[in-house]
Amino acid sequence: MACGDGRKRLEATVHGRVQGVGFRYFVQREAQRLSLSGRVRNLRSGEVQVVAEGSDEDLQTLLQILRKGPPMAWVERVDYDWKEPKGDSGPFNVTFTV
């Protein structure tokens, strides 16, 4: 789904060995490089949740990055969904675990 200006929202959950390996800060750095807005956080269940808004092309790039992860990570799978953007703006942040 995309809105009139071509922005989309990616909501993803990354499964595997993704906590304690710098995954959140890796995602933050890559999302900021792509000029995306949103957040990344650990889930108590052991996954990492990513919510990002931006252009389709940049979000597709981020999705590929999520599938690979940083060197110490092992990504089993990425569950994701495309949503209408909610207008999140500002820098891409690491937020608290939920």
44 annotated active-site: no
Catalytic residue among 7, 9, 39, 42, which?
A: 42
Are residues 1 and 82 in contact, defined by beta-carbon separation less than 8 angstroms?
A: yes
Q: What secondary structure letter does DSSP report for 35?
A: T
Q: What one-character-per-residue DSSP string does 62-85 give?
A: HHHHHHH--TT-EEEEEEEEEE--
Catalytic residue among 7, 9, 24, 39, which?
A: 24
93 annotated active-site: no
List active site positions.
24, 42
